Structure 1
Amino acid sequence: MTDDDFNEYKQSLIMEKTQVDTELNMETERHWKIILGCRDDFGFYDARLQALRNITKEQVVQFYNTCFLSENRKKVSLQIYSSDVPIPDTWNTPPPEEPYKAAKDPKNYVKITTLRPNQIEEFKTTARYLSTNPYM
């Protein structure tokens, strides 16, 4: 990506984020996202906009290299199966005494959990209040 392309993309994001609320419900939704996200900083949007104005292409490239190309990156795999599909037997076997012995850090251990129906219902109730983008 050229510097001009990066700056053009950045300007389009700034224009998108600075659009004025055209209806009262848009402003209300914006404020409720902050409240439900347990943030008490109503200046969050202004701070995010200022950070967007100041970010450089080099910073974005460095972030990408650190988070996605680094050997220290973390990975998460979430697999959801229907209750009509049996869980593979290999998942139900007890973990070895020293799981993932080759892992460099104990924080990298993985635990596989099967949710009970009541936990799924609790999640459905809670999920209504979760944003798919925590930075909205």
Structure 2
Amino acid sequence: MSIEQTRKEIKKYIKIKKEQEALSNQATYLEKIKNDIDQESIDPNFIKKVEDLDCRIKILNAEMYKDKVFIDTIESALQSLENDEIELLLNMHGNNKISKRQLANHLYTTKSTLYRRENRILEKIDSELSVIRELRE
């Protein structure tokens, strides 16, 4: 996998991060619904379900943030391909004797794994929001 292809994949990842931000906005909307429910004193079981789902969404967002920090480091190294940044990335993985091609392959594999994981997290968040929408109706 070439560096250029890896860059393209990272751009796709960044697009997904923007979609995640939109989901985060939906979580804010969920908080507003929760506040409205508190004011209307609706069934306590419904409130408990909303709070549980809200907590799960916050946990999923925290997991995605950890992945984003790592991807940002990878993206920074790829954009400039400065030797010292590549050294830093290599040192993070404890291997100083790999080629740029091996590094690109490793980064692509790592990014793909994180991408798949994030998709699963986004699906979970969407599922949780769907449940809340159904409960709200």
TM-score computed with the length of structure 2 as normaliser: 0.31
Larger-gyration structure (1/2):
1
Higher share of residues assigned helix: 2
TM-score computed with the length of structure 1 as normaliser: 0.31
